[in-house]
Chain A
Amino acid sequence: DAKTTQPTSMDCAEGRAANLPCNHSTISGNEYVYWYRQIHSQGPQYIIHGLKNNETNEMASLIITEDRKSSTLILPHATLRDTAVYYCIVRVARNTGNQFYFGTGTSLTVIP
């Protein structure tokens, strides 16, 4: 059962902000939202995570709606090196540890 849904693909002009949406309508109160990206076929790379407050770091900003049913990852000034597949992930806490549920991701292409 998919925990997140994302657009299959998006384009963004170089230097502009890239806004990547994600729906997680079945998220529970203690489940975090994480974002990772995967460039070519490399291992995924951590970007940012949050629970209910908006978050910002050196790579991106994460905006989570008040009802927590959706979120948006913002890359403020996209570069060609940001072309990648971006995964919105729900982290589920279990007694034996935390588990990530990856969706199919959004393929972002930054256009010169």
Chain B
Amino acid sequence: NAGVTQTPKFRVLKTGQSMTLLCAQDMNHEYMYWYRQDPGMGLRLIHYSVGEGTTAKGEVPDGYNVSRLKKQNFLLGLESAAPSQTSVYFCASSYLYGGAPTDTQYFGPGTRLTVL
């Protein structure tokens, strides 16, 4: 049971390049989330998903797209990277209990992204 894993761990992009971050969880959780964390700041929610095939915008969704084609995977895409997207990206998942999300979110180890 690996929990929540993220790929890649580190990445350097040039302005305008695109990339996709992969989040995978093996806990059969329904909810998945993408956050970003800037230096000295708390986490901010980018997008989240309440189930396979559904996504919703969080606090800072601009410049990002997401997809949840399989229950265990949640992809975060940057179509045209900008220096302002330099950050550490965390993925998380949580499960439903009694029909409501427990909100005990299990976090991955993070992806450090630098955009030059």
Chain A interface residues toward B at CB < 8 A:
32, 34, 36, 41-46, 49, 87, 91, 96-105
CB-contact partner of B104 in A41, A46, A97, A105, under 8 A: A46
- Contact of A104 with B40 in the complex, beta carbons under 8 Å: yes
The total of Cβ contacts below 8 Å across the A-B interface reads 54
**CB within 8 Å for A43 and B110 given contacts A97-B56, A102-B43, A104-B41:** yes
- Contact of B59 with A99 in the complex, beta carbons under 8 Å: yes
Note all chain B residues with C-beta closer than 8 A to A45: 107
Chain B residue nearest in CB terms to A85 = B42
Chain B interface residues toward A at CB < 8 A:
4, 31, 40-45, 48, 50, 56, 58-59, 88, 90, 92, 101, 103-110
A69 to chain B, nearest CB (A): 20
- Contact of A43 with B4 in the complex, beta carbons under 8 Å: yes
- Contact of B58 with A43 in the complex, beta carbons under 8 Å: no
- Contact of B56 with A43 in the complex, beta carbons under 8 Å: no
Chain B residue nearest in CB terms to A44 = B107
Note all chain A residues with C-beta closer than 8 A to B104: 46
- Contact of A43 with B108 in the complex, beta carbons under 8 Å: yes
- Contact of B45 with A43 in the complex, beta carbons under 8 Å: no
Report the bound CA distance from A98 to B92 in whole Å. 13
**CB within 8 Å for A104 and B42 given contacts A43-B4, A44-B90, A96-B56:** yes
Note all chain B residues with C-beta closer than 8 A to A100: 43, 45, 103, 105
